[in-house]
Amino acid sequence: MQNNPKIVLLNGYGPISINNELLELYPVTTSHGAIGFPLKSLRAENVTIVTNLINFWSLTKKMKPENMCYLYAYGGLEDEDMEKIKATSIKST
């Protein structure tokens, strides 16, 4: 039985690769606040996993212009999901 991919919201600064598609986060964040994707693969320089949706939405007011991809996952992330994320630095808040 194949599991459906986890749905994630992303915002922040810097380039990322999500599901093998290149994306610049800054224009998406400033125009729309965030963008949602099924998580099949994610590559970024830095990733911060935000576990609270309210905190995720408030980040746009506090963001510094640095290469950081903020990620919120509906239902949280499991080990299988974490293996899909490749980054130099991965933090959780």
pLDDT in tens, 65-84: 688 999 999 999 999 999 99
Instruction: Evaluate if residue 2 carries a pLDDT over 60.
Output: no
Instruction: Enter the pTM of the model.
Output: 0.90
DSSP 22-80: EEEHHHHHHHHS-EEEE-S-EEEEEEEE---HHHHHHHHHH--SSSEEEEEETT---HH
Nearest to 56 by CA among 6, 11, 23: 11
Q: Where are the domains of the chain?
A: 7-92
pLDDT tens digits for range 30-72: 888 899 999 999 999 999 999 999 999 988 777 776 889 999 9
pLDDT of residue 1: 37
